[in-house]
Each structure stands twice: as structure tokens, then as C-alpha cells.
């Protein structure tokens, strides 16, 4: 099972050296991957109809994942760089395909594209994309990207995307895994049909039930369970005993990735205890604490 760390995008600050130090520390300690979250815009939640119920507000900063990983690709050599997740339907599919191909090139095959539908309809409005129908749009986007990554000059005629004899150069030097994230049976069924893996944003009984459902759905679609990766995320504040217990439990469920998050942004909605970190160095120190406990699970 690969051990990962969530990049504390809302709490790392704006010093490029701190961003570099976090990624390099993770690599040097033996982490297999880093996961970064995505939001283009924050939005005030008050007086919205329909209400905004997500965990992030207008004061939460997010480093842009593709630009961030272009920077970190040059500063690391082994650690996988994963998005968890890019809000794909609010972005242009061909542009994301181009950006992902470039990252796969610059990182020498270390990029994993996690995608999801998101919840912030204000962000969709600002980017000029309909919020309704985003799930169907995303499924077609994955087909568009895979067609463009396949080489040559494919054509595509879908419900949302049309192009004729167009391609991407440079091509990605290695296949780009497409993982999905979410909290619903719909997302699980989508992954079972067309995904390379699923990222569970927490580690609790509800997520474990969805993981069991994923395995059943994968088999129902004529695929082997080990064709689809599984990643679970646990908050640092749970402590060493829980870290190991949860890692072992998820490994028994067939998880391929187990990831630590120390960033507190959003814990007021998830019910998790805050870690209370106030500096980038505390996030870096937490990396050593966590992997020492779970590296041999």
C-alpha cells in the first residue's frame, strides 16, 4: 500500500521555499505520492440560493494544481503528483488534456489525474459553465482526454464536445491514470465503469461501505477488483494508534493508497478534530511522524 500526504494548500502559505520543502521532505521520507486539492475561486456562503454547503469559503487560499505541480515536478524525482480532485466539468476538456500531458512529460511519468464534479455553483457561474449536468459532462470529458492522449489526430462527436482531426503534441510519455473522487453511489458507479481508481476523502464507516460497493460494482462491470485503485484519507489529528489501525483496515479492504491530511480547513463540516498547525514547518514535521507509524503496513 502506497503512503501519501495531502498538500496543505490552504495553510502552507505563499513562500515558494516552504512549498518546495514540503514536497522534498515527503519524497525524502519515502512518501509515494502527494495529493493537492482544487478550487479556482472561493465564494461567500451567506445568502445564497441554492445554499453553498461545501467546506471552503472565500478566505481559504488554493494554489493552482497544474502550475503548482509544474513547479514541483522540477524539484522532485520520485514522488507521484496527484490531484484530489480537479473540478473537471468547469474546465475545458482539451485544455486539461494538454496540461495533464505536459505534467506527465515534465514529471517523467509521475502524474495522476483525480477528477470530480464539485459543489460550488458560484465557481461554475464565474467560469461560464452550467452547473446542471456536470456529471454527464465529466464522463464525456474523460473520453475526450483519453482520445487526445492516444496519439494522432482523433475526431470526437459527443453531446458536449466536438472536434475533427486534432491532437496533442507533445504526447504524454506514459498513460495518465484518471481517478474519481466523491461521496456518493453515483460517483462509485462511474468509477466502476470508466475509472482507474477512487479517492475517498475520509476514513470512516460510510466510506468503507462505499468501498465495498465499489468492489461489487467493478466486478459487475466485468472488471477485476485490482484494476481499480482505492485511496483513503485520514486526518493527522486522529493520532498514531488510529493511523495504524485505519491503515490496516483499509489494506484489508484492498486499498492501494493511504494518505494523511493535516490541513484543518473544512474540519468543522467533517467532524474531525483540528491539528491546530500554524506554520509550514509543523506540516513538514508531521510527515515524519505519520510515515514512521504506517510505513510497514
Residue 269 has pLDDT above 90, yes or no: no
Number of C-beta neighbours around residue 77 at 10 A? 11
List C-alpha distances in Å: 277 to 8, 164, 265.
Answer: 10, 51, 11
Expressed as residue numbers, the domain containing 265 is 2-294
Lowest mean pLDDT among 167-176, 201-210, 220-229: 201-210
Extended strands (E) in the chain: 2-6, 33-36, 80-83, 86-87, 111-116, 156-157, 162-163, 178-182, 197-200, 229-235, 257-261
The CATH number given to whatever domain includes residue 226 is: 3.20.20.30
pLDDT for residue 266: 85
Mean pLDDT of the chain: 97
Low-confidence winner among 10-24, 150-164, 210-224, 262-276 (lowest mean pLDDT): 262-276
Number of domains in the chain: 1
Site of grid cell 463540516: 269
The per-residue pLDDT for 47 is 95
CA distance 227 to 210: 17
Amino acid at each position: 500500500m502506497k503512503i501519501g500526504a495531502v498538500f496543505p494548500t490552504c495553510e502552507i502559505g505563499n513562500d515558494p521555499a516552504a512549498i518546495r520543502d514540503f514536497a522534498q521532505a515527503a519524497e525524502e521520507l519515502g512518501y509515494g505520492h502527494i495529493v493537492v486539492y482544487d478550487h479556482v475561486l472561493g465564494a461567500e456562503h451567506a445568502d445564497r440560493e441554492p445554499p453553498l454547503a461545501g467546506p471552503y469559503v472565500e478566505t481559504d487560499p488554493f494554489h493552482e494544481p497544474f502550475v503548482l505541480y509544474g513547479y514541483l515536478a522540477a524539484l522532485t524525482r520520485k514522488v507521484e503528483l496527484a490531484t484530489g480532485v480537479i473540478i473537471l466539468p468547469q474546465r475545458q476538456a482539451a485544455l486539461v488534456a494538454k496540461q495533464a500531458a505536459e505534467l506527465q512529460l515534465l514529471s517523467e511519468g509521475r502524474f495522476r489525474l483525480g477528477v470530480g464534479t464539485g459543489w460550488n455553483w458560484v465557481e461554475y457561474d464565474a467560469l461560464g459553465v452550467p452547473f446542471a449536468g456536470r456529471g454527464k459532462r465529466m464522463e464525456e470529458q474523460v473520453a475526450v482526454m483519453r482520445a487526445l492522449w492516444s496519439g494522432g489526430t482523433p475526431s470526437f462527436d459527443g453531446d458536449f464536445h466536438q472536434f475533427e482531426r486534432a491532437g496533442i503534441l507533445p504526447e504524454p510519455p506514459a498513460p495518465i491514470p484518471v481517478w474519481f473522487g466523491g461521496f456518493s453511489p453515483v460517483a462509485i458507479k462511474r468509477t466502476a465503469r470508466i475509472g482507474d481508481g477512487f479517492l475517498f476523502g475520509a476514513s470512516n464507516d460510510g466510506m468503507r461501505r462505499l468501498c465495498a460497493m465499489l468492489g461489487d460494482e467493478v466486478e459487475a462491470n466485468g472488471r477485476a477488483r485490482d484494476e481499480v485503485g482505492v485511496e483513503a484519507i485520514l486526518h493527522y489529528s486522529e493520532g498514531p494508534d488510529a493511523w495504524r489501525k485505519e491503515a490496516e483496515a483499509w489494506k484489508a479492504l484492498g486499498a492501494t493508497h493511504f494518505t494523511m491530511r493535516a490541513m484543518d480547513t473544512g474540519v468543522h463540516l467533517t467532524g474531525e478534530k483540528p491539528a491546530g498547525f500554524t506554520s509550514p514547518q509543523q506540516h513538514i514535521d508531521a510527515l515524519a511522524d505519520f510515515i514512521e507509524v504506517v510505513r510497514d503496513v
